[in-house]
């Protein structure tokens, strides 16, 4: 009996020592006092629940990736220095239109704006997949893929068939996927592609020893690079849902972007750093810009994530909102902003900026949909327009700032994108591309319902309480 008591005492003491270690880490690294206090109370009161929970979702820096970045920093820094010294890279100072706002974005992404690019706006899944298929078919040296979700459905089988055919032709293929987003990807699909000669890595399972309990971090990027010359980035994953071909499926509304030119080097650098983390390898790739630039567009590739020194994704959104002069239009399937972002949106609206946020009417997450309603009154009172897209599920992530630049990427307006996910965005300053994005979003707004405070205030007390309660979970959504 005394032996059992001693064992239990040791276990309890060990649990509270672990809780103290977690509290020590919180005090050294916390972002907000409210979050720190909540964790500390939970760790003291319910350590048997809070300790494992904190180990899984309590961290805000992806420690293993940070270590890998430091180890590979010399090689990556050399490539980045070469990138910035290319003749297509815009100078950080001395250009009248290259103001402080854009310089901030360069510093956040550790990449330069480049000129000489040509971008094509892809407004739906059908156009995007056709462009992806064509680019892979045209590849002569290598194909780099990095997607949060890869499925073994019809789209996945078509991509696998193309990749197997290109491998047989001597083209090298590297595929990086997120193990959580692609949890239902068939193992047979992976085995067959690997047997054909593709190099495949999972963002999580490829480095379990160094990742340790950090399952809350996701690689949410979606990009493709062919031969270092053509690249794609945007919100579309590799799955049938983006085509909306199933009889019982709502059509998905999403956007992607095809880029030719020196900015593709930025996509390739982001892919290389992620691949290095997941596999420990550094493939030899083409880093030479095109001898004849294909266009005249200025583009910046902005990778963001929890291994960065700053909260780069949050700062990106804040930089856009705070510097908007006439309008800022944002689209996101998940609208669960923190207090900094909602306050910045309110201030922008109060100073006369046309602030619009486009979100889906039919969300794929009931909790996120409820949380979005809780922001409605304070948004509308400041003059922020909240629009709900009607025809189907709206999944695109687009930012339009005045007539000065447009951004298309993978980042949502939620805590996960801003602090926990690895995201990537392409920012374009060319008037023609901006006009295309303007037209696309204007057409989308025509298919939206503008919300009013009554959409929240006239609902039942139970609904309003549920919205407010779910909003407390915003850091986890």
Average pLDDT over residues 424-430: 96
222 belongs to the catalytic site: yes
Average pLDDT over residues 194-203: 94
- Residues 83-115 pLDDT 10s: 766 656 665 445 554 567 888 888 888 888 898
Does residue 89 contact residue 79 with C-beta atoms inside 8 Å?
Answer: no
The more confident residue out of 150 and 310 is 150
443 belongs to the catalytic site: no
Residue 5 has pLDDT above 70, yes or no: no
Catalytic residue among 220, 254, 308, 430: 220
Please state, in angstroms and as integers, the Cα–Cα distance from residue 114 to each residue in 285, 324, 407, following that order.
19, 22, 15
Q: For residue 198, what are the contacts with CB-CB under 8 A and spacing of at least 6? A: 163, 167, 173, 174, 175
Least confident of 130-144, 270-284, 345-359: 270-284
Q: Which top CATH class is 312-476?
A: alpha beta
Q: How would residue 59 be classed by pLDDT, with cut points 50, 70 and 90?
A: low
- Residues 438-451 pLDDT 10s: 999 999 999 999 99
Greatest pairwise CA separation for the chain in angstroms: 82
Q: Using CA atoms, how far apart are residues 160 and 177, in angstroms rounded to an integer?
A: 14
Catalytic residue among 123, 256, 397, 430: 397
395 belongs to the catalytic site: yes
Catalytic residue among 364, 402, 403, 438: 402
Does residue 321 contact residue 399 with C-beta atoms inside 8 Å?
Answer: no
CATH T-level fold of 63-298: Endonuclease; Chain A (3.30.870)
Residue 198 has pLDDT above 90, yes or no: yes
Q: Using CA atoms, how far apart are residues 475 and 339, in angstroms rounded to an integer?
A: 11
Strand partners, 144: 174, 225
Q: Using CA atoms, how far apart are residues 247 and 250, in angstroms rounded to an integer?
A: 8
Average pLDDT, the chain: 84
Looking at residue 309, what DSSP letter applies? S
Q: How would residue 28 be classed by pLDDT, with cut points 50, 70 and 90?
A: confident
Give φ, ψ of 350 to 5 degrees.
Answer: -65, -25
Q: How would residue 212 be classed by pLDDT, with cut points 50, 70 and 90?
A: very low
Same CATH fold, 312-476 and 63-298?
yes
The residue assigned the tokens 């053509």 is 230
292 belongs to the catalytic site: no
pLDDT reported for residue 207: 47
What the block records as the tokens of 398 is 């687009």
What percent of the chain has a predicted confidence (pLDDT) above 90? 48
What the block records as the tokens of 247 is 């009889």
430 belongs to the catalytic site: no
Residue 268 has pLDDT above 50, yes or no: yes
Give φ, ψ of 450 to 5 degrees.
Answer: -80, 120
Catalytic residue among 123, 160, 256, 395: 395
Residue 155 has pLDDT above 90, yes or no: yes
Q: How would residue 188 be classed by pLDDT, with cut points 50, 70 and 90?
A: very high
pLDDT reported for residue 205: 59
438 belongs to the catalytic site: no
Catalytic residue among 153, 227, 274, 414: 227
Name the H helices within 293-430: 312-323, 339-350, 366-373, 376-382, 415
pLDDT reported for residue 366: 75
pTM of the model: 0.86
Does residue 395 contact residue 275 with C-beta atoms inside 8 Å?
Answer: no
Q: Using CA atoms, how far apart are residues 362 and 377, in angstroms rounded to an integer?
A: 20
The residues spanned by each domain of the chain are 2-57, 63-298, 312-476
Catalytic residue among 123, 166, 222, 256: 222
């Amino acid at each position: 009996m005394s032996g059992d008591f001693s064992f239990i005492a040791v276990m309890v003491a060990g649990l509270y020592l672990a809780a103290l270690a977690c509290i020590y880490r919180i005090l050294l690294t916390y972002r907000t006092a409210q979050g720190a206090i909540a964790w500390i109370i939970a760790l003291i009161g319910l350590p048997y629940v809070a300790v494992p929970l904190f180990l899984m979702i309590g961290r805000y820096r992806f420690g293993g990736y940070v270590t890998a970045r430091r180890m590979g920093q010399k090689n990556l820094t050399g490539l980045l220095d070469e990138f910035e010294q290319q003749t297509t890279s815009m100078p950080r100072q001395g250009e009248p239109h290259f103001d402080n706002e854009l310089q901030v974005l360069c510093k956040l992404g550790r990449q330069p704006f480049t000129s000489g690019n040509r971008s094509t706006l892809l407004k739906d899944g059908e156009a995007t997949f056709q462009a992806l298929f064509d680019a892979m078919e045209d590849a002569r040296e290598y194909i780099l893929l990095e997607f949060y979700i890869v499925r073994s459905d019809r789209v996945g089988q078509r991509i696998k068939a193309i990749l197997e055919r290109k491998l047989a032709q001597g083209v090298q293929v590297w595929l990086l996927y997120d193990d959580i987003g692609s949890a239902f990807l068939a193992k047979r699909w992976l085995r067959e592609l690997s047997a054909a000669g593709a190099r495949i890595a999972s963002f999580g399972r490829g480095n379990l020893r160094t990742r340790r309990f950090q399952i809350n971090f996701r690689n949410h990027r979606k990009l493709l690079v062919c031969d270092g010359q053509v690249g794609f980035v945007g919100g579309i994953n590799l799955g049938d849902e983006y085509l909306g071909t199933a009889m019982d499926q709502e059509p998905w509304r999403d956007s992607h972007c095809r880029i030719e030119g020196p900015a593709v080097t930025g996509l390739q650098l982001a892919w290389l750093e992620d691949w290095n983390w997941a596999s420990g390898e550094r493939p030899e790739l083409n880093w030479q810009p095109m001898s004849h630039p294909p266009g005249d567009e200025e583009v910046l590739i902005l990778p963001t994530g929890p291994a960065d020194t700053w909260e780069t994704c949050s700062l990106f959104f804040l930089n856009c909102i705070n510097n908007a002069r006439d309008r800022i239009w944002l689209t996101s399937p998940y609208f669960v902003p923190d207090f900094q972002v909602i306050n910045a949106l309110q201030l922008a609206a109060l100073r006369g900026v046309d602030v619009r946020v486009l979100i889906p009417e039919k969300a794929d997450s009931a909790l996120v949909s409820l949380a979005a309603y809780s922001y409605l009154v304070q948004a509308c009172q400041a003059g922020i327009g909240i629009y709900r897209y009607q025809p189907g599920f709206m999944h695109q992530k687009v930012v339009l700032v005045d007539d000065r630049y447009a951004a298309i990427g993978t980042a949502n307006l939620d805590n996960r994108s801003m602090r926990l996910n690895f995201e990537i965005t392409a920012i374009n300053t060319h008037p023609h591309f901006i006009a295309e994005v303007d037209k696309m979003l204007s057409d989308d707004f025509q298919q939206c319902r503008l919300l009013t405070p009554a959409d929240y205030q006239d609902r039942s007390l139970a609904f309003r309480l549920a919205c407010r309660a779910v909003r407390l979970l915003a850091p986890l959504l």
